[in-house]
Amino acid sequence: MTKTKHAVVIAGGGPTGLMLAGELALLRVDVAIVERRESQVLAGTRAGGLHSRTIEVLDQRGIAERFLSQGQVMQVAGFAMIRLDISDFPTRHNYGLALTQNHIEPILAAWVSELKVPIYRGLDVTGFAQDDTGVDVELSDGRSLRAKYLVGCDGGRSLIRKKAGIDFLGWDPSLSYLIAEAEMTEEPAWGIRPDERGVNGLAKLEDGKRVRVLLNEPHVKQGGEPTLDDLREALIALYGTDFGVHNVTYLSRFTDAARQAASYRERRVLLAGDAAHVHSPAGGQGLNIGVQDAVNLGWKLAQVVSGTSPENLLDTYQPERHPIGARVLKLTLAQTALMRGDERTKALHENMSELLTMDEPRKRYAAMMSGLDIHYDLGEGHPLLGRRMPDLDLVTESGPRRVFTLLHDARPALLKLGEPGALDIAPWADRVKRIDARYAGVWELPVLGAVAAPTAVLIRPDGHVAWVGDGTDQGLRDALTTWFGPPTAP
């Protein structure tokens, strides 16, 4: 039987898989998604929103407005439920967005559909076999696809990760939570109720009638589908009544287990999102870092499949993204510990709250939780190197322009800000655009504050700075070759 071919197959069309597909499609890669669900409809609401850096990343592709127009802009960053205000941060999006995952996914899916990415729906990837030139991807209907690369974006229980033999290392759960959406005949005890193990909460859902229930269970449970009896039992244990819970439209269990893939790549198979890292929802990080994994990987994979860059460009994915996942795991462990309601932990939480009212600690933690401090280690140099490029208001020959608009097509850009003159990128002109512009304002980075104005910056498609000019072109050719492939012969 002939196999349908794609350059890249993505297993899983959740937020990470959709974002990755969009990135690849923008760069004209033949990409397809295989997704178990028949539609994008999600059972339950799951993630509660987007942090600042994720909004920026979406803005870099010109799609942030689609999300902002459906959610509520607010200060969402927090640490162990201690609110961290970022309204004084130097970013256009000095806030987060309250918008639940069941709204986020359809917006991403619509974008991916505009980009004409095929989605094989209602099918599982059931296995794969890789060789020197590609991967055979088996589907649950007996068909198989052939791809140059397979990316597992198939969530925390990732089959791709397991079949690739990649270890999932970390911490077993200390807590399990039931999360439900249901009706109640009695008026529930609204709000958050901490107990010795952690927090519990009963909140009104959007329709104002149904209740979103979050309960930590008396005994840690893992796996297995929770039942209505489990929910009743947990409600009674905490509130002394089950409030007449009925008509449960969503019931699930999650834990505070924290695990991370030992490797994000096994030859032609890569992992991103929850497939690469799972942890408790404390701090609301999972969806956000999954989307950002996708934006880090997408352009690299596109350049490798098109032959623009050698395969070793993919070796930069893990060193850049694994530390981010590892940091999030630790942050969630710390927050889970801090949210226990016993007297000693409450005292610790009070101290931490006080500490975070001070400016310097607040800025550091807020930048971590909002993703604005991400710094890829690209070596010594100007503070901008490896950090996110700020969305400056530029003046160009054709009028005013924001930096992020330069990245809408997911292609790299050399931004020249000094005197017009020799920065010769002709051998990369087919890949890297050159923009001459002026910027008169201050260069300011979150936490670091003002930094020296560069004369030029080379910006990767993910918005991170790959080279900073100081009036000369020293290091520019190396940076161009490292990130965007060898020069084209004249």
Ligand X SMILES: Cc1cc2nc3c(=O)[nH]c(=O)nc-3n(C[C@H](O)[C@H](O)[C@H](O)COP(=O)(O)OP(=O)(O)OC[C@H]3O[C@@H](n4cnc5c(N)ncnc54)[C@H](O)[C@@H]3O)c2cc1C
Using the minimum distance from each CB to ligand X, give the nearer residue, 15 or 134.
Answer: 15
Among 56, 59, 154, 266, binds ligand X (CB under 6 A): 154
Q: The tokens of 314 are what?
A: 């993919």
Among 4, 102, 124, 451, binds ligand X (CB under 6 A): 124
Among 273, 390, 454, 475, binds ligand X (CB under 6 A): 273
Is residue 36 part of the contact set for ligand X (CB under 6 A)? yes
Rounded Cα–Cα distance for residues 466 and 476 (Å): 9
Is residue 287 part of the contact set for ligand X (CB under 6 A)? yes
Q: Which stretch binds ligand X (CB under 6 A): 41-49, 355-363, 366-374, 475-483?
A: 41-49
Using the minimum distance from each CB to ligand X, give the nearer residue, 124 or 473.
Answer: 124
The residues that bridge with 159 in the sheet, in sequence order, are none
Is residue 17 part of the contact set for ligand X (CB under 6 A)? yes
Q: The tokens of 437 are what?
A: 């512009």
To ligand X, the closest distance from the beta carbon of 64 in angstroms equals: 16
Using the minimum distance from each CB to ligand X, give the nearer residue, 22 or 281.
Answer: 281
Residues 175-194 that bind ligand X (CB under 6 A): 179
Among 6, 12, 29, 389, binds ligand X (CB under 6 A): 12
Which residue type does 476 have? L
Using the minimum distance from each CB to ligand X, give the nearer residue, 13 or 390.
Answer: 13
To ligand X, the closest distance from the beta carbon of 347 in angstroms equals: 27
Using the minimum distance from each CB to ligand X, give the nearer residue, 194 or 290.
Answer: 290
Among 7, 13, 71, 77, binds ligand X (CB under 6 A): 13
* Residue that the structure tokens 């760069």 belong to: 27
Is residue 14 part of the contact set for ligand X (CB under 6 A)? yes
To ligand X, the closest distance from the beta carbon of 15 in angstroms equals: 4
Task: List the x/- string, 293-332, binding to ligand X by CB under 6 A.
Answer: ----------------------------------------
Is residue 101 part of the contact set for ligand X (CB under 6 A)? yes
Rounded Cα–Cα distance for residues 418 and 383 (Å): 18
To ligand X, the closest distance from the beta carbon of 13 in angstroms equals: 5
Is residue 48 part of the contact set for ligand X (CB under 6 A)? yes
To ligand X, the closest distance from the beta carbon of 223 in angstroms equals: 14
Residues 156-175 that bind ligand X (CB under 6 A): 159
Q: Which stretch binds ligand X (CB under 6 A): 107-115, 148-156, 427-435, 470-478?
A: 148-156
Q: Which stretch binds ligand X (CB under 6 A): 106-114, 162-170, 280-288, 327-335?
A: 280-288
Among 188, 194, 290, 412, binds ligand X (CB under 6 A): 290
The upper half-sphere exposure of residue 93, i.e. CA atoms within 13 Å in the direction of its Cβ, equals 28
Is residue 274 part of the contact set for ligand X (CB under 6 A)? yes
Is residue 226 part of the contact set for ligand X (CB under 6 A)? no
Is residue 255 part of the contact set for ligand X (CB under 6 A)? no
Please give, one letter per residue, the 3-state secondary structure of the chain: CCCEEEEEEEECCCHHHHHHHHHHHHCCCCEEEEECCCCCCCCCCCCCEECHHHHHHHHHCCCHHHHHCCCEEECCCEECCEECCCCCCCCCCCCEEECCHHHHHHHHHHHHHHCCCCEEECCCEEEEEECCCCEEEEECCCCEEEEEEEEECCCCCCHHHHHCCCCEEEECCCCEEEEEEEEECCCCCCEEEECCCCEEEEEECCCCCCEEEEEECCCCCCCCCCCHHHHHHHHHHHHCCCCCEEEEEEEEEEECCEEEECCCEECCEEECHHHCEECCCCCCCHHHHHHHHHHHHHHHHHHHHCCCCCHHHHHHHHHHHHHHHHHHHHHHHHHHHHCCCCHHHHHHHHHHHHHCCCHHHHHHHHHHHHCCCCECCCCCCCCCECEECCCCEEEECCEEEEHHHHHCCCCCEEEECCCCCCCCCHHHCCCCEEEEEECCCCEEECCCEEECCCCEEEECCCCEEEEEECCCCCCHHHHHHHHHCCCCCC
Q: How far is CA 377 from CA 58, 109, 316, 382, 466, in A?
A: 23, 32, 10, 12, 10
Rounded Cα–Cα distance for residues 409 and 23 (Å): 9
To ligand X, the closest distance from the beta carbon of 101 in angstroms equals: 5
Using the minimum distance from each CB to ligand X, give the nearer residue, 199 or 385.
Answer: 199
Rounded Cα–Cα distance for residues 157 and 252 (Å): 15
Q: Which stretch binds ligand X (CB under 6 A): 15-23, 216-224, 299-307, 390-398?
A: 15-23
Is residue 284 part of the contact set for ligand X (CB under 6 A)? yes
Among 254, 264, 404, 467, binds ligand X (CB under 6 A): 254
Is residue 78 part of the contact set for ligand X (CB under 6 A)? no
Using the minimum distance from each CB to ligand X, give the nearer residue, 159 or 215.
Answer: 159
Is residue 46 part of the contact set for ligand X (CB under 6 A)? yes
To ligand X, the closest distance from the beta carbon of 33 in angstroms equals: 8
Q: Are 112 and 32 in contact (CB under 8 A)?
A: no
Count the site residues for ligand X by CB under 6 A. Answer: 33
The residues that touch ligand X, with contacts defined as CB under 6 A, are 11-17, 34-37, 46-49, 101, 124-125, 153-155, 159, 179, 254, 273-274, 281, 284-288, 290
